[in-house]
Structure 1
Amino acid sequence: MSGRASPTWLALGDSYTIGEAVPLHLRWPHQLTRQLGFCNPQYVATTGWTTRDLLDAITEAIFTPPYTWVSLLIGVNNQYQGLDFSLYRPEFTELLEFAIAQTTNARHVLVLSIPDYSVTSFAQDKDPAKIQREIEQYNQVNRQIAEEYGVRYCDITPISQQATDDPSLIADDGLHPSGKMYQLWGEKVKNTVRF
């Protein structure tokens, strides 16, 4: 890469993107970009954000496109807050169109599935079966939209479900992924994308 700027990554999302409950260097975008020799990622993500919150935030943030890669992982807070499910499709579509516009190639946009937090200790008194069912519905939508737009899709949900048998995949807060789980996500992304 001599004489050329290092590749860049724009990470759009919520707590699963900024790595709530883990240090900065253990966030999955940070782990991944470090391994790939990219610049540190630019984050537009905050714990608790819904699709609407992210849409509002991108109108205020400063961007420097084109990015080499853009990732989008959003929707769990729509489910958690019990928002009208019909809002997700148009808002996610708008976010994906924005993500595509930030790079030069739709194949350099990566959508990640929403993790299944029903397996965490946090969710055990909150109807885990309902959570799992609703997360599945959200993921059917984001996968379908990703396919329609020709972007990459990485299904990390099965990795999140491994926490049923491996508590070390969950951070100390009992809800969010640990650095170990984020590492597994990064490996899945690398296998999906084949940089």
Structure 2
Amino acid sequence: MSLCTWSGVKCFAADTLAYLALGDSYTVGRLVPAEDSFPYQLAAKLKSKGLNIPSPTLIAQNGWRTDELIKGIANSGVNQKFDIVTLLIGVNNQFQGISIDTYRVEFVQLLKTAIAYAKGNKAHVFVLSIPDWGVTPFAAIRSPEKIAKDIDAYNQINREESEKAVVNYIDITGISRALGDDPAYLAADHLHPSGKMYKLWVDKLERKIIKVLGIGH
């Protein structure tokens, strides 16, 4: 990656910017076309800024907890370095009642891995908070209040550890709570986000990335 200057504005030369997305079903974009998932929408939006960024590399699967993401990374064979790394993980820890202490230990390990993938550049790692699935129709007969409380506890951990690691933190939980019961923002299972919801996440994420990379428009 190299920077150039054009009309007094920072821009990127023709070098390719590699992007890695680590996570679970929210990263895969379950039940939406691949191009509607947030990693693909993000790549497309960055391309619109003039960046040479190919399709993202994903290490993510539906249902993965933090420990399964750790194993998935180890088994992925992905050894290259990246210019942008996103990390969104933890909802399945919450759903399966995994200890938040375990989550903290494993999340810290994943943060270290994300930083290593980003060539050691902490500024190029972007953690997204866990959405609150408790507001969705799918969760109506479960316990929305308890789910919200649990999600807050997990997000307190990932925020604290992100701040300690000096990486970027993007809070998307508020968006999920505001719109997560609207069918337009949900996939067909009435649980996972639609492309329209992912776009709102990408808007916040893209603004942060543009600021960090120092790109003008």
- Short-chain TM bin: over 0.9
Residue of structure 1 equivalent to 2:37: 27
* Contact 1:28 1:182 (8 Å CA) reproduced: yes
The correspondence for 2:65, drawn from 42, 50, 57, is: 50
Aligned: 1:9 with 2:19: yes
Residue of structure 2 equivalent to 1:117: 133
The runs of 5 or more residues in structure 1 that have no matched partner are none
Partners of 1:154 and 1:40 lie apart in 2 by: 22
Letter in 1 for 2:45: Q
Q: Is the alpha carbon distance of 1:66 and 1:123 closer, same or farther for their aligned partners in structure 2, counting shifts above 3 Å?
A: same
Residue of structure 2 equivalent to 1:152: 168
The runs of 5 or more residues in structure 2 that have no matched partner are 1-11, 48-52
Structure number with greater Rg is 2
Matched position secondary structure for 2:106: helix
Aligned: 1:78 with 2:78: no
The total of aligned residue pairs comes to: 194
Deviation at 1:192, TM superposition (A): 2.5
Partners of 1:44 and 1:127 lie apart in 2 by: 30
Partner deviation per Cα, 1:3-43 (whole Å, 9 max, x = no partner): 52x21110000000000010000001101111212110000
The correspondence for 2:112, drawn from 90, 94, 97, is: 97
Deviation at 1:163, TM superposition (A): 2.0
TM-score normalized by structure 1? 0.95
Partners of 2:58 and 2:116 lie apart in 1 by: 16
Deviation at 1:190, TM superposition (A): 1.4
The correspondence for 1:66, drawn from 64, 67, 81, is: 81
Q: Is the alpha carbon distance of 1:164 and 1:53 closer, same or farther for their aligned partners in structure 2, counting shifts above 3 Å?
A: closer
Q: Is the alpha carbon distance of 1:150 and 1:123 closer, same or farther for their aligned partners in structure 2, counting shifts above 3 Å?
A: same
Letter in 1 for 2:131: P
Residue of structure 2 equivalent to 1:127: 143
Deviation at 1:165, TM superposition (A): 5.9
Partners of 2:90 and 2:164 lie apart in 1 by: 18
Matched position secondary structure for 2:127: strand
Partner deviation per Cα, 1:80-122 (whole Å, 9 max, x = no partner): 0111221000000000000000112110000000000111011
Matched position secondary structure for 1:60: helix
Q: Is the alpha carbon distance of 1:73 and 1:164 closer, same or farther for their aligned partners in structure 2, counting shifts above 3 Å?
A: closer
Partners of 2:181 and 2:43 lie apart in 1 by: 28
Partners of 2:140 and 2:90 lie apart in 1 by: 20
Partner deviation per Cα, 1:43-100 (whole Å, 9 max, x = no partner): 0000100000001111111224320101100000000011122100000000000000
Aligned: 1:40 with 2:50: no
Partners of 2:25 and 2:42 lie apart in 1 by: 17
